[in-house]
Amino acid sequence: MKLAYYPGCSAESTARDMHRSTLAVAGALGIKLVEPQGWSCCGATAAHQTDPVLAAALPAANLLLAGDMGLDMVASCAACYNRLKSANHHIVNDPALRRQVRDAIGRDYDGSVRVRHFLEVLFEDVGLDAIRPALQRSLSEVKVACYYGCLLVRPPGVMNFDDPENPTFLDDLVELMGGKSLDWPCKVDCCGGGLAMSRTDVVVQLTDAILAMAQKAGADCIAVSCPMCQVNLDMRQKDIAKTTGRRYDLPIVYITQLLGLCLGIAPEELGLEKLFVPPTKIIDALGAEM
Amino acid sequence: MTMRITKEKTERGLLQQVKELAGVDLRVCFQCKKCSSGCPVGDWVESPPAQIMRRLHLGAGDELLESDLVWVCVSCQTCSARCPMGIDVAAVMDALRTLALEKGADSARGTVPKFNRAFLGSVRRYGRTYDMGMIASYKFRTFSFMKDTDKFPQMLKKRKIALLPSFKADRKTVKRIFKTTQRPKGGQK
Ligand code: SF4
Ligand code: SF4
């Protein structure tokens, strides 16, 4: 199984841990990921809040690279995944936009390179039945609140990724690993995403509500798949404690980190030391050593 | 709730421009307000999404671009996902932001557009985002030098911030894209 892999800019900074754990899990499951040479930023929230052509052209330039390799494009970052897939959708449905994108890049792109999320590949190509026998450690009843956020599931007509209001693929993986996935109401709530720096006040309030609900549900940790959710929920716990006095101490782990641990990969290969709130409890429960 | 609406004199009002940019037909909005109730920032803003839709529909002009939601909207797309009429409300919000930048609205001088400019500036320069450069540029634009500086040492230690930009991107193509898509008063300067 070979796929073009789009790491996204955060793989080189805030989400090295997501990047490393994705590569480690792919390696353990025999998925070959190839980075397209010269990939560039997808534009993220800033581009689509600025200009629709820019927002489509930046992802399109990258999808052309995957197209040249004759491969599907897989992303691990929920935000990149959303931008790449949205660009395809708009280019296919809007011929005028397609022309503008062509003029911007200097090459026509028809929107046909298939965009996948790494989890989709796990479910559809590898399959849970093939993952099960590869598991070496169990999450042994660790209580996990699965947090999907916005970008994997919305807008539903474009993403077509599980149920947009009550998705379960993260929960299914957690259960497969022997953990206990919690029933809680904030699965697809928004953490404030791209406003992390520009409107910190908004982010602190939104993350506080999510963390409080996870704690109330009895969570030992929150599993995420988006670098913005991870950073916001992880890093803001200190600010929340300072402004409200509420302490959560909830580790915010990437689902690929949990899966990596269960596949027997060493914690340092999964970037677990990078979390602000250390996941000691989970690592102990798994009998791994950090 | 009181709504103030200044009708556009020209025929091509904001409604038409939004429609062209977002490709949505917002006449089918029947004000069920589901978009507002699911909006994570709905409680904090004066004009939640349903009100924006209504004002647009009634022929509001450029003053709509100064509504607080325009730049507080976090682009979570909950509104689009839940609208029973299938209106892409989040795309309307994107269109309003694009217009605010283009027309030089006052709201386009806030922290969010400044952050976006700093972000896109680093993408245009390096082809990828470069946190340190972007953060420095944003802090310079907003004079918020001290905010969040307590996080820096830890982020550096955990290598959550790259010290140097990456030079591996196809910068030629990215530069070309920015050059061609630069709108008249675009926000990419
Ligand atoms: S959810 Fe849709 S129909 Fe209902 S008020 Fe919002 S835009 Fe109008
Ligand atoms: S996309 Fe913007 S307007 Fe729509 S629900 Fe989210 S924050 Fe509110």
Specify the pLDDT at position B25.
87
Of A41, A45, A190, the CB nearest to B40: A190
Q: Do A46 and B119 touch (CB under 8 A)?
A: yes
Dist CA A17 CA A275 (whole Å): 8
Paired residues of A253 in beta bridges: A223
Paired residues of A5 in beta bridges: A74
CATH topology of domain B14-107: Fumarate Reductase Iron-sulfur Protein; Chain B, domain 2 (1.10.1060)
Query: Strands A180-181 and A143-146: what pairing?
Result: parallel
Which of A165, A216, A195 lies closest to B41, judged by CA? A195
Q: From ligand 1's centre to the CA of B52, what distance in Å?
A: 10
Pocket of ligand 2 (CB under 6 A): B 38-41, 49, 73-79, 89-90, 93
Going by pLDDT thresholds of 50, 70 and 90, the confidence category of residue B185 is very low
Give me the mean pLDDT over the B87-103 stretch: 94
> Residue B130, SS3?
coil
The token pair that represents A3 in the structure block: 């796929």
What confidence tens digit (pLDDT) does each residue in B43-73 have?
Answer: 889 999 999 999 999 889 999 999 999 999 9
Going by pLDDT thresholds of 50, 70 and 90, the confidence category of residue A193 is confident
Residue B39 pLDDT greater than 80, yes or no: yes
From chain B, pick out residues whose CB is under 8 angstroms from the CB of A100.
181
Specify the pLDDT at position B140.
55
Q: Which domains does chain A have, with CATH numbers?
A: 2-119 (1.20.1050.140), 136-286 (3.40.50.11810)
Residue ranges of the domains in chain B?
Answer: 14-107, 112-181
Does residue A202 contact residue B72 with C-beta atoms inside 8 Å? yes
Dist CA B49 CA A80 (whole Å): 25
What does the radius of gyration of chain A's CA atoms come to, in whole angstroms?
19
Lowest mean pLDDT among A66-75, A103-112, B20-29: B20-29
Q: Return the sign of the alpha-carbon dihedral for residues B115, B120, B121, B127.
A: positive
Give me the mean pLDDT over the A205-225 stretch: 95
The token pair that represents B97 in the structure block: 């932001």
DSSP A222: E
Dist CA B134 CA A196 (whole Å): 13
Dihedral angle computed from the Cα positions of residues B90, B93, B98 and B100, in that order, rounded to the nearest 10 degrees = -170
Does residue A39 contact residue A80 with C-beta atoms inside 8 Å? no
Dist CA A160 CA A112 (whole Å): 16
